[in-house]
């Protein structure tokens, strides 16, 4: 069993930055694929970023490529999402996920989810 707890969300002006954290329980954290997803009001959940193999491979949605960076600290059982150059369209609840997905972009493939943290970007 893995428990995930996100933190770091908040209100920021467009162009600003935030860093989200996701603290995970469990001894085999380093073996999991860790992903970030987001869901805006009235929209479906969408993939943001993921990394696997202890951070050696990373994946990003086109909409955040070059602005967001996913990283992990296996010693702290924590994955991060550094978000720079934020835009109002980045406003959403951000969720951390863990698992061994067949596809890193498919949320249904992940086994564990956090409770989410709100990110609001004002224009």
pLDDT digits (tens, 9 = 90+) for 86-103: 999 999 999 999 999 989
Length of the chain: 123
Angle at 50 between CA 1 and CA 8, to 5 degrees: 80
Q: What pLDDT is stored for residue 30 in this prediction?
A: 80
Tokens, residue 2: 């893995």
- pLDDT score for 66: 97
Q: What percent of the chain has pLDDT over 90?
A: 77
pLDDT tens digits for range 10-22: 999 999 999 999 9
The answer to whether 71 and 101 are in contact (CB under 8 A) is: no
Q: Which two tokens stand for residue 15?
A: 């162009």
d(CA 121, CA 15): 9
Q: What mean pLDDT do residues 20-27 have? A: 89
Q: What is the pLDDT of residues 45-65, one digit of tens each?
A: 999 999 986 667 899 999 999
Strand boundaries in 1-123, DSSP class E: 4-7, 10-13, 18-24, 33-39, 46-52, 57-60, 68-73, 78-83, 92-99, 112-113, 117-122
Report pLDDT for 53: 67
Residue 68: pLDDT band by 50, 70, 90 thresholds? very high
| Cα 74 from Cα 93, distance rounded (Å) | 24
Give me the residues paired with residue 10 across strands: 119
CA gap 117, 88 in Å, rounded:
16
CB 94 within 8 A of CB 61: no
């Amino acid at each position: 069993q893995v428990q995930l707890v996100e933190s770091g969300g908040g209100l920021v002006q467009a162009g600003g930055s935030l860093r989200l954290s996701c603290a995970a329980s469990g001894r085999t954290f380093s073996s999991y694929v860790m992903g970030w997803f987001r869901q805006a009001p009235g929209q479906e959940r969408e993939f943001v970023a993921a990394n696997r193999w202890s951070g050696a491979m990373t994946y990003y949605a086109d909409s955040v490529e070059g602005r967001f960076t996913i990283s992990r600290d296996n010693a702290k059982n924590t994955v991060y999402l550094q978000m720079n150059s934020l835009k109002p369209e980045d406003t959403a609840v951000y969720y951390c996920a863990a698992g061994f997905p067949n596809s890193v972009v498919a949320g249904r493939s992940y086994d564990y989810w956090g409770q989410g943290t709100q990110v609001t970007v004002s224009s």
